[in-house]
Amino acid sequence: MRLSELFIRLGAFGLAAVVCGFGARVAVATVESRSVEAVQLSLEENGHGFATVLGDGLQVILQGEAPSEAIRFRAISTAGGMVDASRVIDNMTVEDSADLEAPEFSMEILRNDSGISIIGLVPVSIDREELTETLSDMAGEDASFADLLESADYAEPEGWDDAVGFALRALERLPRSKISVRAGRVTIEAISDSREEKARLEAELRRISPRGLATALDIMAPRPVVSPYVTRFILDDEGARFDSCVADTAQAERRIVAAAQAAGVGERVGCTLALGSPTTQWADAVALAIASVEDLGGGAVTISDADVTLVAPIGTAQGNFDRVAGELENALPEVFALDAVLPEAPAAGNEGPPQFIATLSPEGLVQLRGRVSDDLLNTTAENFARAKFGSADISMATLVSDGMPTGWPVRVLAGIEALSKLSNGSVTVEPTSIVVRGNTGSESAGGEITRLLVEKLGSTDAFSVDVTYVEALDPIAALPTEDECLEQIGTVTETRKITFEPGSATIAGEGAGIIDDIAEILQKCAELRLEIAGYTDSQGSEDGNQRLSQQRADAVLDALRIRRVPVSKFRAIGYGEENPIADNETEDGREANRRIEFTLIMPESTEEPSALDQIEEEAATAAEEGAEAADGATDGDGTTE
């Protein structure tokens, strides 16, 4: 090969390399320019005009100051949507967040049988270790505890401590609950074991809720399981009424109540929603049965599970009775069976049926009188009454008689058990009927008595249950408020005084009896926040009097603790000779000043006065100053200088 040909080829290769390099530079510049333009346009279209875009080869560099970290991240994502995300270089900064508003602190606590979990955002200043230790202890060793809290370095908002404290006290009482906490507000959702437990928890939580804290309670109680499933409707001279009414759904309840109102029930009535219905057609059967009683012009119908017992009034025409009974039997759903009864009129000259009567007085005295069939029944009735009423105050005035009707022992014992469901009242047992009357502190007592009698006697026996719910007898509804508890303590100590041995903190005289009475009151006042204050007269040194008053206040607190009073919210303080209520120069005055006082502990208000409050306060101050100036300008004889 000639040398010239070699140079020509090398030259061609060199020229090609130069052209390729120049082309690559042009291509990179074009890609860079178009990438920058596309990213810049996309950022502006998405509201990120604060960001500027620079190109460095194939890399896209973002610069500028973003309003927040979230907006910075959105700008990066927008750029990554136009070019490959690996080409995006973030050189942006974020504005100073020192002046941003504090976030809304909140936390949610979940508790069930498996454990406790807590999630939310809380101030960094809270005692995190104490909070988690409390919740972990509450969960127990066999349950789990999950802490998912985040914290932020901002001041605790007003009302936060009260809300957290109440939430923990509520959680301790609610093993299946969800509690949401915000400053000044706590929302509780929970499940209780029964309606009685639901009422007790609601009353207790309202009582321990701090003043000024907004609370929302939603405690659900599972529907009770009722067996037998009984509804009993009566129409007689006293009017139309239910002895017992149960329904499986709210829709069924509305239909049953509508049928009862059409039959003459004028007052507002309702049914107990309960499980145990024999069929989904329960409301159909009950409504048809009530309509049949109305068609007869009176009588009673008892639907116990799938058995329907229709009892016509005495004197009903046979033809009308047959027609109504036949229509009901054909209209009832297939699962139900009808037993229609037309009672016979009593024979003329009858001296009346034998009776057994049991009464329960408001004081708890039980009296049994009337006829029993033999000595065994007499002894059994007395022992059964003692077992049911838990009292030895049983008065027996029964008479053993021959010829008592069949089933008399069962009727007598069923009557005693029915009476035990009441706070006071009576039960009258006859061969063909049982009448229960009285007062009760349980809203469900009427239905319980009806189901009891149906179960013991059968649905064909006639009985009447006329019981009245009295709120004052309800152990839950009748729980006293904090102010009422303090008023009752004041009544106990108004004429009597807790005394101590001279110069000692040993309770003396009738002081123990007074503390017994106070303890009995406080047993009904759970979670009461109470201060026990001790005072002395002015004799002796001031320091010595203060120590003695503190020891005496502590002695009263210890005495209440020994009597099983929940004193976790109590505090004992000795004030020595402060705040005298009488003259320390006399013996009677000194005796009055040596005292123990009980007062409620009021939560300290952290609320700032409003603008209106400040204006009113300034106006009142100005008026007082003006009045004082006017008084100062008046001389002793009432004339103005």
Displacement of CA 413 from its chain's centroid (Å)? 38
pLDDT tops 70 at residue 20: no
Model pLDDT, residue 617: 58
Model pLDDT, residue 188: 93
| DSSP character at residue 52 | E
DSSP string, 254-304: HHHHHHHHHTT--S----EE-B--S-TTHHHHHHHHHHHHHHHTSEEEEEE
User: Which residues partner with 217 through β-bridges?
Assistant: 188
Which amino acid belongs to residue 117? S
Q: Which tens digits make up the pLDDT trace of 400-430?
A: 888 888 889 999 999 999 999 898 889 999 9
Higher pLDDT: 349 or 252? It is: 252
| DSSP character at residue 488 | H
Give the separation between CA 433 and CA 414, rounded to whole angstroms: 12
H/E stretch holding 145 reads strand 144-152
pLDDT tops 50 at residue 227: yes
Work out the burial of residue 371: count CB atoms within 10 Å of its CB; fewer than 13 is exposed, 13-18 middle, 19 or more buried: buried
| Residue 226, phi then psi, degrees to nearest 5 | -105, 130
DSSP string, 533-595: EEE--S-S-HHHHHHHHHHHHHHHHHHHHHTT---TTEEEEE-TT-S-SS-TTSHHHHHHHSE
Model pLDDT, residue 25: 63
Give the residue among 286, 297, 375 at the shortest CA–CA distance from 331.
Answer: 286
CA–CA distance from 445 to each of 37, 471, 522 (Å)? 82, 13, 28
pLDDT tops 90 at residue 481: no
For residue 186, name the pLDDT band (cuts at 50, 70, 90): very high
Give the separation between CA 538 and CA 263, rounded to whole angstroms: 77
CB atoms within 10 A of CB 459: 24
CA–CA distance from 89 to each of 64, 66, 180, 271 (Å)? 12, 15, 42, 71
Model pLDDT, residue 98: 53
For residue 77, name the pLDDT band (cuts at 50, 70, 90): confident
Question: Mean per-residue pLDDT for 330-348?
Answer: 83
Question: Mean per-residue pLDDT for 167-188?
Answer: 91
Model pLDDT, residue 600: 85
**CB-based contacts of 101, cutoff 8 Å, min separation 6:** none
Question: Mean per-residue pLDDT for 516-523?
Answer: 87
Q: Which tens digits make up the pLDDT trace of 253-289?
A: 999 999 999 998 887 788 888 888 999 999 999 999 9
pLDDT tops 70 at residue 48: yes
Displacement of CA 184 from its chain's centroid (Å)? 18
Average pLDDT over all residues of the chain: 82
Question: Mean per-residue pLDDT for 459-476?
Answer: 79
Model pLDDT, residue 180: 93
Letter string b/e over residues 387-426, b meaning 16 or more CB atoms within 10 A of that residue's CB? ebbeeeebeeebeeeeebeeebbebbbbbbbbbbbbbbbb
pLDDT tops 70 at residue 19: no
208-217, 283-292, 523-532 — most confident range: 283-292
H/E stretch holding 112 reads strand 106-112
Q: Does residue 533 contact residue 553 with C-beta atoms inside 8 Å?
A: yes
The SS3 of residue 243 is strand
Question: Mean per-residue pLDDT for 462-473?
Answer: 83
User: Which residues partner with 596 through β-bridges?
Assistant: 534
pLDDT tops 90 at residue 109: yes
